[in-house]
Structure 1
């Protein structure tokens, strides 16, 4: 007799398939066989976690920030001296004034951003001007830390790459730049760690003066030896808001008020700066909305020297998330900053109404 074949009913075939899938599932859940089962089932194994980025020496970031501010300043100066500003309006401020952009802004931004991006491609960079993706270039940097930094900060100061945000202002005081008020113009770079400003560079392209500082590290500039008991306030000439009224109401009608352009210039006015074009003040105050790339470098520089920059209410400004600060600015060094903020709060309980 011919051998008998095994014949499965449709029900038997279904049971066999279920048993087979059960075996594959068992293999899939096993630590070593899971990948094989996943392959047979057409599934992809979970991707291996990305390796953490190596820590960054903040001294290197300070060095490349210094170089970027100077290189950007060279572009700012070149465009101004060629008188090819090509100025245009890029929008309006909250007060309704035209917000200008020039060829100097664009060329400085291009140089500063590409230099820092080439040196630290893994870091987040926030910059004032838009950069066309096709306009990016690789700019080499030799990773040399200048002796002036090594002397003050001999040991590495490390921070995780994920915690760092860089803020670039390629041309501060654009309005004054177009009016050829060169003394107010600066280029600035700031490094924030976990939202706190720790490295600040402010460069004046037309005098060549550069101030820099690192919190808990050092600075190439100092606070002045003395400050006035009745503070001399420095305020904006192009974004005034109600700052004069606020100053006189809080500190008295006899308060001396200096009107100037550029947030970087105003911060330098609080310090012992060896630049004959730089005015001196005791307090920098601003009552309207301001972008964080305008103030981050000055905030870091003041903090490195024991000074303060806060909102008008005395609150710390966090340099992550939104690129704007709604709370106004109160900056000082060598004075009782808390007392200044308290006086403002006492005299002006509704500080939100000032941003108009």
Structure 2
């Protein structure tokens, strides 16, 4: 009798153990096949700003290589006229750089939102080259910061100063990448393809060597103001009425002009008419990192959180200091 009871218990335990094995097997199969693969793209809802900055530098430099390689073999087209009546030029170099930069970002972070000046190019994923970068030698220890992926918006300008590119005025030409977090520009990269130099900044963290503030910089005798070569609007006449003892510098490329301010070579970059946010985002980040400011001409902060809102229609004031003194001048 006792032996029969023991056998019954053993049989019951065996069935329970078998059921547990079956349940565990089902759970394991579900984990392996029903769920998404475990990888950085699906599980990492936090994203490294250090990785984003390095990617932005590589992207700007990669786009710049295509800009240089196409300089003697490109086609020119037009997107139409600007509000000022100037031709809005686009070239095959713009699209080549766009695809190169987009591929760099999408290779590193497949699901990031990237807003570009050029949207019509059909880009195929290609191999991403990575030649030596200023990043590799000039950055020291950096304390990383992680942000929510859904708060990140990338803005790229594959070829700033396209008109000047067609005229071989290469000193104005840049490729730019910018990372905004919750609408605020945090990482900015401005690359000069023809001189192979790159300026970059991470707000509150680190700057490229060329942007580190110079000690004992001399004050300028005249107030130097830089304005657009092709989109100046009525700004020259307005400044002549509102300011004295100033020098007006006419130049192309929003990136070029923003860096002139960042390096202390001019006092202000002023723009009276509408301007696209991919033109200003990188320069905005650089100036913020240096303690400067970039706002609309009515002193409103420029927001970079909405890809569908790509145009700032309220002009621009960019400075390293004395920002308020340039408001209301035009």
Question: Which TM-score applies when normalising by structure 2?
Answer: 0.80
Query: Can you give the 5+ residue segments of structure 1 that lack an aligned partner in the other structure?
Result: 1-50, 274-279, 349-356
Aligned in 2, Cα 1:183/1:132: closer, same or farther, shift over 3 Å? closer
Cα distance in 2, alignment partners of residues 288 and 197 from structure 1? 21
| Deviation digits for residues 210-253 of structure 1 (CA, Å, limit 9, x no counterpart) | 1000001110112452443642000001111011122223322x
Other-structure match for 1:14: none
Q: For residue 148 of structure 1, report the CA deviation from its aligned partner.
A: 4.8
Aligned 8 A contact 1:199 1:214 in 2? yes
> Counterparts of 2:69 and 2:192 in 1: how far apart (Å)?
13
Whether contact under 8 Å (2:95, 2:121) holds in the other structure is no
CA contact (8 A) 1:76 1:104 kept: yes
Deviations 1:102-142 (A, max 9, x none): 11111111100111111111211000102444x32054589
Choose 261-270 or 220-229, whichever is displaced more. Answer: 220-229
Q: Quick one: distance in 2 between partners of 1:101 and 1:58?
A: 32
Larger radius of gyration between Structure 1 and Structure 2? 1
Q: Find out whether 1:178 has 2:166 as its counterpart.
A: yes
Deviations 1:263-314 (A, max 9, x none): 01101112338xxxxxx31110000110000000000001011111111111
Q: CA deviation at 1:98?
A: 1.2
SS of the residue corresponding to residue 303 of structure 1 reads: helix
1:313 aligns to 2:298 (yes or no): yes
The one of 325, 336, 340 aligned to 2:322 = 336
- The aligned counterpart of 2:194 is 206
1:228 aligns with 2:220: yes
Q: Could you list the runs of 4 or more consecutive aligned residues of structure 1 that deviate by over 3 angstroms after TM superposition?
A: 138-142, 144-150
Query: Closer, same or farther in 2 for the Cα pair 1:313/1:148, shift >3 Å?
Result: farther
Name which of 103, 116, 121 aligns with 2:105.
Answer: 116
Change in Cα spacing, 1:327 to 1:119, as seen in structure 2 (3 Å) is: same
1:324 is the counterpart of 2:278:
no
Alignment of 1:56-205 (within 5 A): 56-80=47-71, 83-133=72-122, 135-140=123-128, 146-148=135-137, 151=140, 153=142, 155-205=143-193
Partner of residue 299, structure 1: 284
Contact 1:123-1:166 within 8 A present in 2 as well? yes
Residue 215 (str. 1) matches residue 198 (str. 2) = no
Deviation string, structure 1 residues 2-30 (Cα, Å, up to 9, x no partner)? xxxxxxxxxxxxxxxxxxxxxxxxxxxxx
Is 2:63–2:175's contact at 8 Å kept on the other side of the alignment?
A: yes
| TM-score, structure 1 normalization | 0.74
Q: CA deviation at 1:152?
A: 5.0
Distance 1:132 1:184 in 2: 24
- Indicate conservation of the 8 Å contact 2:62/2:129, yes or no: no
Q: Quick one: which of 257, 263, 273 aligns to 1:266?
A: 257
Deviations 1:190-227 (A, max 9, x none): 00000000000000111111100000111011245244
How far apart in 2 are the matches of 1:228 and 1:298? 22
Change in Cα spacing, 1:227 to 1:187, as seen in structure 2 (3 Å) is farther
* 1:152–1:185 CA distance, 2 compared to 1 (3 A): farther
Cα distance in 2 for partners of 1:202, 1:175 equals 18
Distance in 2 between residues matched to 1:215 and 1:246, nearest whole Å = 33
Cα pair distance change 1:132/1:180, threshold 3 Å: closer
CA drift of 1:156 comes to: 1.4
CA RMSD of aligned residues (A): 2.1
Q: Does 1:238 align with 2:230?
A: yes
